[in-house]
Chains A and B, each alone.
Chain A
Amino acid sequence: MLEVKGLYKTFNPGSVNEKKALSGIDLTLNEGDFVTVIGGNGAGKSTMLNMIAGVYPVDRGTITIDGVNVTKLSEHRRAKYIGRVFQDPRMGTASDMWLEENLAIANRRGKFRGLNWAISGKERKEFKEMLAKLDLGLENRLTTKVGLLSGGQRQAVTLLMAVMNHPKLLLLDEHTAALDPKTAKNVLDLSDKFIEENHLTALMVTHNMRDAIAHGNRLIMMNEGKIILDVSGEEKKNLTVEELLEEFAKLSGSEFANDRALLSN
């Protein structure tokens, strides 16, 4: 479903701030793969997701989604294939627009926006049903400004927006990192549910090793812009946090350094 080949990215090349973010990423996701991504500070996890989403142009390499080479497509053109949830709950929704307006915008991702009404009556009914399934009491708040919702509610709404028109690929970039533990668990469970129900192919960056092991069918570990570990199936299910840390030390020759991971594990 997703094929990344020889992806390189250097920020501020030739300057004192030069940062090699990605140094040759090769990654193939089969349809229905749910891959969790872990790695230390500056390992390139978010950069990899942003490159796939088209936020930055690539230096070298190709990105193919469902057989379509999207390497040269701009971010908004690629959006047709990709659903995204960001770390910052404020980033995935438009604060000063209504809940139903946000949902309607996501519902038209990848479609031409003309002069039809932005929201149809039929959609409103569908939105209500979808929101009811979130179980957050949002189904009666369609005309509430999203900025008035809590971080957890906004993240759940962004998740709904990301999956509502069945993207080829779902990108979750530490989407629970800014939430309190209980809300984070709810949003994570919701992600699991959506991915399973819609048979989505997904990449999830997380700082929490336990989450990385518990969710998805495959786990990759990144370090200095490279994928250094790729486990799936039974082997992944039986992993422990200790084994992962050991593995990291062995493969990278250094201690696992991720501020948030150290705090939360």
Chain B
Amino acid sequence: MPFMNAMPGAITQGIIWGIMAIGVYITFKILDVADLTVDGSFATGGAVLVVLVTSGQNLYFAMLCAFLAGCLAGLVTGIFHTKFGIPAILAGILTQLSLYSVNLRIQGDMANLPFAYMNYKYPITLRNVSKTLLPVNVSKDNELLQMLTRFCNQSLLICVIISGVLIAVLYWFFGTERGHALRVTGSNLAMARANGINTDNNKIIGIVLSNGIVAMSGAILSQYQGFCDVNMGRGAIVIGLAAVIIGEVIFGKIFHNFALKLVATIVGGIIYYVVITLVLNLGMKANDLKLFTAIVVGIFLGIPYWKAQFTQRFSGRKAVEEEKEVAENA
């Protein structure tokens, strides 16, 4: 059962990318801005964590610094967008591009920095992902039960706790006056300004917060896999969108509460990774993954548009037919 054996790891990675997707949710869904900075800031988070930790800094301090580095990247994009008048997508691309050089500098001109030799002592690692925390002794013959107990591993549980805390904090924040100001900015710019809301500042705050979360998730991922890589964020925005959209398609009808929508995004990330693990197990080449992801996300983004087109055409035809009927009857 290679696929089932890979599940605990796939789910852990799914949650980590789901945390990143929450960052994407803030810009894409709440602010209504497509922010491509994340491809760069994700790797920035990883780079900052690895460099600080290998130089002997405390892990939690390094996580905080990774978060702040992401915030800084977001600040640059936010300023490009609001103060330079650059369209959000382009502003994000500019920052993302510059971050490639910045990340290389952080990593001391190395494209890839391993620290696997020391990450075993950290809470979230690949090494403990198949070690159950349950104090039970399952006989080696009972493979299914053994596999199930492995879901209760340290990495996965800590990732669940982190996402739970993050969702709670965001639920609180978006329920405050400031959080509402951000939501209005994404919903109706004219109305926001007419009600005394500085839309530029709120966009910046949203993009900063989003990239901070993205960088933190990059830091968690590099901790988990034991290295950071300048290219680890490539396509992060697409994976984030995939998680947001999968969560929305599956839970949109039943989850209306904001916290539950964020939970749906995390679950979207998990589903994405489970599916990836599945197709890899079915024999897809790892190099084709990005193509596969792009196609799937493209289709899911198109669905609401096609739906609207279809209902329009359908109801239009119906109206014409009804008119004809009325004419014939007259």
Contacts and interface: CB of A to CB of B under 8 A. Distances in A.
A binds B: yes
Interface of A: 53, 74-77, 79-80, 82, 84, 86, 90-97, 101, 104-106, 108-111, 113-118, 161
Contacts of B173: 115
B125 interface: no
B181 interface: yes
A104 B180 contact: yes
B196 A77 contact: yes
Given A76-B193, A117-B175, 18 more contacts: A74-B198, A75-B194, A76-B192, A90-B188, A91-B190, A91-B191, A94-B187, A94-B192, A97-B180, A105-B180, A105-B184, A109-B196, A110-B196, A113-B177, A115-B173, A116-B177, A117-B177, A161-B195
A53 B193 CA distance: 10
B178 interface: yes
Given A114-B177, A115-B177, A116-B176, A75 B195 contact: no
20 contacts: A76-B197, A76-B199, A91-B188, A91-B190, A95-B187, A96-B187, A97-B180, A97-B184, A97-B187, A101-B183, A105-B181, A105-B184, A105-B195, A105-B197, A113-B180, A113-B181, A117-B175, A117-B177, A118-B177, A118-B179
A92 B199 CA distance: 15
Contacts of A106: 195
- Which one of B178, B181, B194, B199 has the highest number of Cβ atoms from chain A below 10 Å of its Cβ? B194
Interface of B: 173, 175-181, 183-184, 187-188, 190-199
A113 B178 contact: yes
A95 B197 CA distance: 17
Nearest to A96: B187
Contacts of A53: 194
A115 B176 contact: yes
Chain A contact surface mostly = loop
A142 B310 CA distance: 33
Nearest to B201: A76
Contacts of A74: 198
A215 B197 CA distance: 31
A113 B196 CA distance: 10
Contacts of B183: 94, 97, 101
Contacts of B190: 86, 91
Contacts of B195: 79, 105-106, 108-109, 161
A49 to B, nearest CB: 11
A115 B178 contact: yes
A75 B199 CA distance: 10
Contacts of B180: 97, 101, 104-105, 113, 118
A96 to B, nearest CB: 5
Given A97-B184, A97-B187, A105-B184, A79 B193 contact: yes
B187 A76 contact: no
A100 to B, nearest CB: 11
Contacts of B184: 94, 97, 105
A92 B192 CA distance: 9
B121 to A, nearest CB: 36
Contacts of A76: 192-193, 196-199
Given A75-B194, A92-B194, A118 B188 contact: no
A92 B173 CA distance: 24
A255 to B, nearest CB: 33
A116 B177 CA distance: 6
A103 B82 CA distance: 27
A95 B191 CA distance: 10
A79 B196 contact: yes
B194 A94 contact: no
A115 B176 CA distance: 5
Nearest to A110: B196
Contacts of A110: 196
A86 B81 CA distance: 27
**Most B Cβ at <10 Å: residue of A76, A84, A92, A106:** A76
Contact of A108 (B177, B188, B191, B194): B177
Nearest to A79: B196
Which 8 A/B pairs are nearest by Cβ-Cβ distance?
A79-B196, A94-B187, A113-B177, A118-B180, A109-B196, A94-B188, A75-B193, A115-B176
